[in-house]
Chains A and B, each alone.
Chain A
Amino acid sequence: EAGVAQSPRYKIIEKRQSVAFWCNPISGHATLYWYQQILGQGPKLLIQFQNNGVVDDSQLPKDRFSAERLKGVDSTLKIQPAKLEDSAVYLCASSSYDKTSGANVLTFGAGSRLTVL
């Protein structure tokens, strides 16, 4: 099966500009996640969608970050305005239900690397 697709792979912007990242999950995966991975740290969850509804966005900085998944498939993550500390890799993941364990198993995309100057 095709993996999780993300674009763009790299983006360089100046602070206060805006940027958007796109994610296409694995076909049939109902749950989609956006993670932020700052250099030298582990990924941190920003938002989780179940179909087109938000399950958890408690760590999303809502004053500048927004995300949507209008038709329950593709998702976009937007940052406006960007700050220097937003420089990171933004990882998208989608999950399927593991019948054996009763849990969801995440598959990650390659990520979108953002540099804010």
Chain B
Amino acid sequence: AQSVTQPDIHITVSEGASLELRCNYSYGATPYLFWYVQSPGQGLQLLLKYFSGDTLVQGIKGFEAEFKRSQSSFNLRKPSVHWSDAAEYFCAVGPPSGGSYIPTFGRGTSLIVHP
């Protein structure tokens, strides 16, 4: 069965600093990979996704993520964090099965941004 591990429950960074959120997955083949962001009281918004091809994917709001097959990782990065980036971030994995998938989510990482 597929699974997702986000080892960091909380991450604290200063505004303007760089950010990296870790995500490791367990799946027998190359899965579909996603990062979602959830602001307080809101639903999940898709930041970016990886299906195939270039292992460095660009998303919205200046985020990017790199798929590393050898490490079973899909870490999220941003070069300069803004205070508005404070939110909960979820990594998700889904099997590429028949053109559809059901994402399995990690437990999330809470990003705290200090001014």
Answer whether A48 and B105 are a contact pair too, CB < 8 Å, given A91-B43, A103-B32. Answer: no
Q: How far is the CB of B9 from chain A (nearest CB, A)?
A: 8
Task: List chain A residues, Cβ under 8 A from B102.
Answer: 33, 45, 48, 56
0/1 interface trace, chain A 93-117, chain B, CB 8 Å (1 if under)? 1010100111111111111000000
* Contact of B51 with A103 in the complex, beta carbons under 8 Å: yes
Can you show 9 pairs from A to B with CB atoms below 8 A apart? A41-B108, A42-B90, A43-B44, A45-B103, A45-B104, A48-B102, A93-B43, A103-B32, A108-B44
Q: How many residues of A contact B (CB 8 A)?
A: 27
Q: Indicate if the CB atoms of A103 and B101 lie closer than 8 Å.
A: yes
**How many angstroms from the CA of A44 to the CA of B103 in the assembled complex?**
9
The reply to whether A106 and B46 contact each other, CB–CB distance below 8 Å, is yes
* A40 in the interface (beta carbon within 8 A): yes
